[in-house]
C-alpha cells in the first residue's frame, strides 16, 4: 500500500505534467507563428461506447478543435487561466470549487467570467480535455460543491493534513451511531480493511438502521449511504476503495425504475452525458443485491403502483440505454417490473419486523451473491 503522501505526490506530478504539455504545445505553435489550438473530446451521447468488459460508458474518438480566432480569444484565454490556476492549486496543496474559480477570475482583467455559466462551460471543457490523459477534474483540484455520502464499518482511512503533511488515521468502526462524511476530494486517501464487501445503500433511514445495529460487524463489510443518486465524491470514494482493496460492491436500493436505472446504473457504469468522466467515477464491480422484482414476490412486499413517469423511465431504459441492451437479465427484470405494475421501497421489508432486513433478508441474499443482477 502506498502512503497517502506518495499517492498524492505521484498524482500531482502527473497532473502538472499534463498541464505543462498542453501549455507547451500552445507555446510552440505560437513560436512557429501558427494559430494555437486546443483539442477536446466531443461530449454527446453519439460519442459514447459501452463495453461491459471495460465496465463503463466510455467516450468515443470524436474530437473538436478550438483554434484561436478573434471570436474565441476570450474563451481561449480563460481556458489557459483556469489551467494556470489548477497548476497553482496543485503546487500549493489547495483546491477550489467551480464558484471559487469564478470569483477568482474577477482578478483576470479582460479574461474575467461575466457569469457562472461561462466558467462552468470552460471547467467542463478542461475536464473533458484532461480526462483523455487520465487526469480527473478532482486531480486538477477543482472540487464539487457537494459533499459525499456517509461511511461506517470495518475500514481504516489514511488521510493527510493539508498543511503539515502528517498522516491522519480514521477508524470507521468508531463513530457510534454517526458516520464518516466523505470529503469533496478523495484522490489522496488510502485504505486498509479486512471487510469482505462494500454495501451501498439508497436511503438514510436504512443506512441508519444497519449502522446503529452494527450490521457491518456481523457481516464484515463497509456501509455507504448514497442518499439517492450518489455524489461524485461518493462514487469516486467507492471506486477507489473497491479498486485498492479488491472488494466487491453490492447495491441495495428501492425496486423502482429510478433506483435501478438512475441510482444503480449511474453507480456502476456512469451516465451517458458525462461519458468523459465515467472512467473515474463508475464502479464496474458493482452488482445488484436488491430489492429485485423477484424479491417483491418472494418476500411478499407491500407495494405502490408504478406511476406513469416510472413506466416511461423503464420503457426508455429498455429502448435506448446500452446498459439494458447488453445485460439481458436486467432487460428481463425491468420487463417483469413493468408487467407487475408495482414498485417497492427497501424499507418495505419492515413489514416483517423492523430488523427483518438485518436478521433475515440480507443474510439470505449474501449467501448467494452470484445470482445478483449484473
- Report the residue number, 37 or 100, with the smaller CB distance to its own copies: 100
CA 307 to chain centre: 28
Catalytic residue among 50, 102, 103, 361: 103
Q: How far is the CB of 80 from its own copies (least distance, A)?
A: 19
The answer to whether the CB of 191 falls within 8 A of the CB of 244 is yes
Nearest to 150 by CA among 193, 195, 212: 212
Phi, psi of 73 (to 5 degrees): -55, -45
Nearest distance from C-beta of residue 55 to its own copies, angstroms: 27
Q: Does 29 bind its own copies (CB under 8 A)?
A: no
Cα gap 212→176, rounded to integer Å: 7
Query: Measured from the CB of residue 86, what is the shortest distance to its own copies in angstroms?
Result: 12
Using CB under 8 A as the binding rule, the residues of this chain from 111 to 150 that contact its own copies are: 115, 143-147, 150
CB of 220 to its own copies, least distance (A): 17
Of 229, 253, 242, 235, nearest to 197 by C-alpha is 242
- Report the SS3 class of residue 206: helix
Binding flag, residue 181, its own copies (CB under 8 A): yes
Q: Does 11 bind its own copies (CB under 8 A)?
A: no
With binding defined as CB under 8 A, does residue 184 bind its own copies? yes
d(CA 16, CA 11): 9
Q: Is 305 in the site for its own copies (CB under 8 A)?
A: no
**Among the listed residues 39, 44, 177, 369, the single contact to its own copies using CB under 8 A:** 177
Among the candidate windows 40-48, 152-160, 269-277, 366-374, which touches its own copies by CB under 8 A?
152-160
CA angle, corner 135, sides to 182 and 77, nearest 5?
110
358 makes contact with its own copies (CB under 8 A): no
Distance of alpha carbon 159 from alpha carbon 134, whole angstroms: 23
Segment contacting its own copies by CB under 8 A, of 52-60, 71-79, 203-211, 258-266: 203-211
User: To 10 degrees, what angle do helices 4-31 and 73-91 make?
Assistant: 150
For the bound state, the minimum distance from the C-beta of residue 323 to its own copies, rounded and expressed in Å, comes to 28
Question: Has 102 been annotated as catalytic?
Answer: no
DSSP 306-365: PPHHHHHHHHHHHHH-HHHHH-HHHHHHHHHHHHHTEEB-GGGGGGG-TTHIIIIIHHHH
* Site residues for its own copies per CB under 8 A: 94-97, 99-100, 103-104, 106-107, 115, 143-147, 150, 157, 159-163, 168-170, 174-185, 189, 203-205, 207-209, 211-214, 225, 227, 302, 304, 345, 347-351, 354-355
Residues noted as catalytic: 103
Amino acid at each position: 500500500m502506498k502512503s497517502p503522501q506518495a499517492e498524492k505526490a505521484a498524482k500531482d506530478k502527473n497532473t502538472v505534467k499534463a498541464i505543462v504539455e498542453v501549455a507547451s504545445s500552445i507555446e510552440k505553435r505560437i513560436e512557429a507563428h501558427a494559430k494555437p489550438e486546443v483539442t477536446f473530446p466531443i461530449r454527446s451521447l453519439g460519442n459514447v461506447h459501452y463495453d461491459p468488459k471495460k465496465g463503463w460508458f466510455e467516450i468515443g474518438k470524436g474530437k473538436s478543435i478550438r483554434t484561436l480566432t478573434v471570436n474565441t480569444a476570450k474563451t481561449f484565454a480563460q481556458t489557459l487561466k483556469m489551467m494556470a490556476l489548477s497548476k497553482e492549486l496543485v503546487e500549493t496543496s489547495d483546491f477550489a470549487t467551480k464558484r471559487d474559480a469564478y470569483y477568482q477570475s474577477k482578478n483576470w482583467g479582460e479574461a474575467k467570467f461575466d457569469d457562472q455559466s461561462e466558467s462552468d462551460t470552460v471547467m467542463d471543457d478542461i475536464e473533458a480535455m484532461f480526462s483523455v490523459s487520465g487526469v480527473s477534474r478532482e486531480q486538477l483540484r477543482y472540487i464539487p460543491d457537494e459533499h459525499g455520502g456517509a461511511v461506517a464499518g470495518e475500514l481504516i482511512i489514511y488521510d493527510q493534513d493539508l498543511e503539515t503533511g502528517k498522516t491522519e488515521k480514521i477508524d470507521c468502526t468508531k463513530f457510534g451511531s454517526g458516520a464518516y462524511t466523505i470529503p469533496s476530494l478523495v484522490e489522496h486517501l488510502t485504505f486498509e480493511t479486512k471487510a469482505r464487501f462494500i454495501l451501498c445503500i439508497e436511503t438514510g433511514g436504512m443506512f441508519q438502521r444497519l449502522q446503529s445495529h452494527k450490521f457491518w460487524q456481523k457481516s464484515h463489510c463497509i456501509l455507504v449511504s448514497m442518499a439517492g443518486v450518489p455524489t461524485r465524491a461518493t462514487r469516486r470514494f467507492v471506486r477507489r476503495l473497491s479498486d485498492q482493496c479488491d472488494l466487491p460492491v453490492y447495491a441495495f436500493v428501492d425496486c423502482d425504475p429510478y433506483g435501478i436505472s438512475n441510482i444503480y446504473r449511474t453507480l456502476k457504469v456512469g451516465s451517458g452525458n458525462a461519458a468523459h468522466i465515467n472512467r473515474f467515477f463508475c464502479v464496474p464491480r458493482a452488482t445488484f443485491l436488491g430489492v429485485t422484482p423477484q424479491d417483491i414476490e418472494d418476500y411478499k412486499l407491500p407495494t405502490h403502483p408504478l406511476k406513469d413517469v416510472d413506466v416511461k423511465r423503464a420503457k426508455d431504459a429498455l429502448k435506448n440505454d446500452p446498459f439494458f441492451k447488453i445485460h439481458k437479465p436486467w432487460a428481463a427484470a425491468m420487463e417483469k417490473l413493468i408487467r407487475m405494475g408495482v414498485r417497492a421501497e427497501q424499507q418495505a421489508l419492515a413489514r416483517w419486523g423492523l430488523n427483518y432486513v438485518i436478521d433475515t433478508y440480507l443474510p439470505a441474499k449474501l449467501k448467494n451473491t452470484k445470482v445478483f443482477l449484473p
